[in-house]
Structure 1
Amino acid sequence: MTRYSPSRIPALVSLFVALGLWMLALLPVASAAASPSGPCHCWCGKEGEGAAIIGEEPDGDACTTKCVSQKKEFLMCQNEGDPSPAGDLQCWEPAECAASGKHPVPGKPYDCLPGFQYCISGDVPMHLGLPIGDVGVVVNLGDYIARMYQFLIGSGAVFAMVMFIIGGVQYMLTAGSGGARQGTDRMKNAVIGFVLLLASYLILQTVNPQTLKLQLPQLPTLRPVLLPGDGVSCLQFYEQGYTVKTDGKEYKKGTADISSPHGFACPTKGELLKNPADAEVPDTPACYWDRCNLGKICRLNPDKPSSKNKCSDCWEVVEEEGFSPKPSEGVCQSMTLSAELLNPGEKFACVYSRGYLNQVRPPGCSYVELNCNNISKCQDYGNVLVRGVDAANGSGTLGTAMDRDGILAGSESLIYRYCKVDDPCGVGPCRVQTAASVATCRPE
């Protein structure tokens, strides 16, 4: 084993001191290299007002001083090419946040531009397989734990009372014998347990009531970032502030309007010229406008121009190589018309289905036509027409719900949904009867 003599210790100390001084000497150089040089746009922010440029300053220190003098938070000293608060992904337009199914946070954050807000995800109800008492739905993990804790507190209190009663009965029935002492101990332990339960709840309620609620923190969500590439919707880029060139004219949100209501019709081609910060997009990638009438969706294969690049009906949306969007439950459901757009008694649904007709048809969307004027009894739900694209015969009516029972992706068949769950025509109560793998709808 190597031993260090006392004469070497001063030399080692001197070496470490020299290394430390050398590293300290490098720190100013590194800081100077990291600090932006030259004048910059000074960004400051204040809660309730938002972020804004307050002028041009020679460096970051001067910008910080100016922000503090105006009782604002220093955000950044922006040089050419640097990102700005305008591109902060935590900041949403309220309409964009609401359209994505989330909730805008009231107020004006100090680090967002005026008119932008934080956006949080709402609670999603979850059905419990095993209810907690009379609670069958919770909205998050914290809600589940809080409900379980409250249920256990109540159950423990009931159990303590039951044990107290049992101890009392035992005391009365065995008075004068050894069992009386056991009854006394049982009652005493029940009282102690009951007091401990209430004390634990009272302590938590006194220290911080939120502990019992277990409310999870609501963190701001981030806006989705689109990457330029062929086949991406021009409207999405336009909404995020890109400059889109179409038919020889440039369009940028807030400076040039596009055709009403949502851009050009599918499949008009566009080019991305500049990003939201007005920097040129390399190679000017292509995009496509995807506006379609209600009940249709824009289907494109940018690598293979053809007559199939168009606004497609529900039954035309099948899984094909190179085409997007691909059929899914969400894509199919988006083509279902709302009830207020239909005549009384009509119900048109676009549903996602797997392959059927002996697997001839690929997975895709199927068009289901329900007319309550033709539904007078439970059995009539089996005659609902289903339409799709048959790879062999083209589009057409494929059959009735009874003939194609089980075409929906999922465990519940079309017959089951209409007959047992929804009963949209109100001819029930009905029940589903299955015999020889064929489901039919029958009266209760």
Structure 2
Amino acid sequence: MPLRALTGLFITALILWTPFVSAQAAESLCTCFCATEEGTLKPSRDQVTEEKCTQLCQENPVAVCASTPRQFPDNNGLCFTADACQKQNGVFSTTQPRECPTGWHYCFPSPEKSKVKLNIQIGDMTTVGDLGTYIQKLYQWMLGAGALIAIVMVMIGGFQYALGAAASGQLAQAKDRIKNGLIGLVLLVSVVVIVQMINPQLLKLDLPRPSLLRPVDLTQKTCATFKQEGYGLKILEGDGKSCGSFAEVVEAPPGVPLPDGLTCYFMECARGGCVISPEQKGQCVECQTISNDNPESSARPSRDLCGSLTFEKRSGLQLQTEHRCVFHEKGFDTPESAISNLDEDACYEIAIDCKEINECDDYEAISVFYRDDGNEQKEFSLWRADPVQLTGICSVNPCKWKINMECEPDGPYDCDRK
């Protein structure tokens, strides 16, 4: 076939194919969620086009037209359940956001539980929990300091005027100092009066509170928990058992309301705990493998993540073993501790085995495991690794049922019988 004929055939096919491809793209389907005053609602159980989604929502805006289940409203990082907000030490909002599932609200940082120590004390304030309080206190302190300086300048001018009667130059300087001090004092008072006349709320500085972001690993419930409580699941990804398997909650027990678009993860691991990465992939990890400089783990250390990997075994009320996962924050340990040599944030593990505890001194030899900066596993006794933790464990005395004695710390490195 001649080259010109082949070229013409190719162009004709391209022209005919282009509208077909465009029509396919335009008809891409998604799961529709409407933003209502009661939260997100799914108007149709079937997938629809974006245009159809807008029509179904009618007067309500579209919350999301999710092309994948991971775009469902319960994956919105601004939306919290009450339990998830409590775990973050936050304040659960009382209003229902339109873009969140029903019963899920914003979570704001609690000023009382998120106080920061000030490097420079402002008046009698040494800690502060929100920016508005800090700016208000700084404003009040600067206003008082300005008034004090103005009054002091007037007093200095008065002394200068009284002592400089014999020198005309001194009298002129004294008058200028008194005048400038009074002008400064009047200006300060005028600022307060003007602001009070315009809007008294300007002095209260009630700034809008930013909402917390929900960590990916801080899920409301696992799929296994939903199954135990009688919910029906539809497996979307994975085998429906292992860490990272993803499912949609499609059925609730009788009489229990079910928010539209609720999803969950399976979190089961043979060893360690299940962590959901920012890419929303599951990974089984062990406590001491989590650090910022470990290339083999996608999990990033945090207080919540490390704490979620703590587990214990009990016989009734008696503790048998406990594997406590503790968060190490760079620069926040005593210089004498072994883990203070870590250059990055990391999780480390404290292994308590009551079979090995026969007296109070044995708490000092509890094993601590962590990875050093070369990603090599290290093992130290508790008194060397972290004296602060030793003091707390000694005071709690978790194996008291076995040793039948009271324990108390004697300094940072010793645990003695009380």
Residues 1:49 and 2:55 are matched in the alignment:
no
**Any conservation in 1 of the 2:132–2:205 contact (CA below 8 Å)?**
yes
* Alpha-carbon distance between aligned partners in 1 of 2:404 and 2:38, rounded to the nearest angstrom: 59
- Residue 242 (structure 1) aligned with residue 220 (structure 2): no
Provide closer, same or farther for how the CA distance between residues 52 and 405 of structure 1 changes in structure 2, counting only shifts above 3 A: same
1:60 to 50, 59, 68: 50
1:155 Cα deviation (Å)? Answer: 1.2
SS in 2 for 1:54: coil
1:168 maps to which residue? 158
Distance 1:137 1:82, change over 3 A: closer
Which SS does the other structure have where 1:98 is aligned?
helix
Q: Which amino acid aligns with 2:211?
A: P
Equivalent residue, structure 2, for 1:103: 91
CA distance in 2, matches of 1:366, 1:316: 16
Residue type of the alignment partner of 1:325: C
Separation in 2 of the partners of 1:302 and 1:354? 15
CA offsets 1:405-443 (integer angstroms, 9 cap, x no match): 2228xxxx99xxx9xxxxxxxxxxxxxxxxxxxxxxxxx
Question: Does structure 1 conserve the Cα–Cα contact (< 8 Å) formed by 2:108 and 2:212?
Answer: yes
Q: Deviations over 1:358-404 (max 9, x none)?
A: 979664754879xxxxxxxxxxxxxx989699xxxxx97999757x4
Distance of 2:288 and 2:161 partners within structure 1: 86
Report how far residue 180 of structure 1 moved.
Answer: 2.1
Matches within 5 A, 1:185-224: 185-202=176-193, 212-215=203-206, 217-224=208-215
Conservation of the 8 A alpha-carbon contact between 1:107 and 1:117 = yes
Query: 1 CA distance for matches of 2:287 and 2:120?
Result: 47
| Shift in CA distance, 405/78, structure 1 to aligned 2, threshold 3 Å | closer
Closer, same or farther: CA 32–171 of 1 in aligned 2, 3 Å: farther
Distance between the aligned counterparts of 2:406 and 2:223, measured in 1?
A: 47
Q: Structure 2: where are the runs of 5+ without partners?
A: 1-17, 233-240, 251-262, 274-285, 290-310, 334-346, 353-359, 369-379
Instruction: Report the equivalent of 1:151.
Output: 141
Q: Name the structure 2 match of 1:310.
A: 313
Aligned residue in 2 for 1:432: none
Shift of 1:90: 1.8
Conservation of the 8 A alpha-carbon contact between 1:161 and 1:190: yes
Counterpart position of 1:255: 231
Distance change (3 Å), C-alpha of 1:367 and 1:85:
same
User: Does the CA-based 8 Å contact 1:92-1:119 persist in structure 2?
Assistant: yes
Question: What's the CA shift string for 1:102-136, capped at 9, x where partnerless?
Answer: 11011110001111111122122334455322333
SS of residue paired to 1:195: helix
Q: Distance in 2 between matches of 1:190 and 1:252?
A: 75
2:101 to 113, 118, 128: 113
C-alpha separation in 2, matches of 1:128 and 1:224: 27
**Percent of aligned pairs with the same amino acid:** 23
Q: Distance in 2 between matches of 1:85 and 1:40?
A: 13
2:269 to 277, 282, 286: 286
What do the CA deviations read for 1:70-90 (whole angstroms, capped 9, x no partner)?
3x1211223465621132232
- Provide the rounded CA distance (Å) in 2 between the counterparts of 1:157 and 1:197: 7
Specify the code of the residue in structure 2 equivalent to 1:117. Answer: H
Matched residue of 1:109: which SS? coil
| Structure label with greater radius of gyration | 1
Deviations 1:147-185 (A, max 9, x none): 223112111101211221332333344347412222211
Structure 1: 5+ residue runs without aligned partners?
A: 1-27, 227-235, 245-249, 257-269, 291-299, 318-322, 336-347, 370-383, 390-394, 419-444
- Amino acid of the structure 2 residue aligned with 1:167: G
Paired residue type of 2:313: K
Relative contact order higher in (CA < 8 Å, ≥ 6 apart) = 2
Equivalent residues of 1:51, 1:111 under 8 A apart: yes
CA distance 1:221–1:33, change in 2 (3 Å): farther
Contact kept? 2:53, 2:62, Cα under 8 Å: yes
Task: Give TM-score scaled by structure 2 length.
Answer: 0.53
Structure with a larger share of its residues in helix = 2
1:136 to 113, 126, 146: 126
* TM alignment of 1:349-388, pairs within 5 A: 363=385, 366=390
CA spacing shift, 1:136–1:385, aligned 2, 3 Å:
closer
Cα deviation, residue 225, structure 1: 2.0
Give, as a single letter, the amino acid of the residue that structure 1 aligns with 2:221: Q
Q: Residue type matched to 1:251 in 2? A: K
Task: Specify the code of the residue in structure 1 equivalent to 2:269.
Answer: A
How far off its partner does 1:213 sit? 4.7
- Separation in structure 1 between the aligned mates of residue 264 and residue 154 of structure 2, nearest angstrom: 77
Contact 1:314 1:367 in 2 (8 A): no
Q: Deviations over 1:27-55 (max 9, x none)?
A: x99x9599663554321112x31110122
Which residue number in structure 2 is paired with residue 247 of structure 1?
Answer: none
More displaced stretch, 79-88 vs 199-208:
199-208
Determine the C-alpha separation between the residues in 2 that align with 1:285 and 1:181.
Answer: 85
Helix, strand or coil at the partner of 1:136: strand
- Is 1:277 aligned to 2:248, yes or no? yes
1:286 partner SS: coil
SS for the counterpart of 1:251 is helix
Q: How far apart in 2 are the matches of 1:151 and 1:302?
A: 47
Determine the structure 2 residue equivalent to 1:295.
none
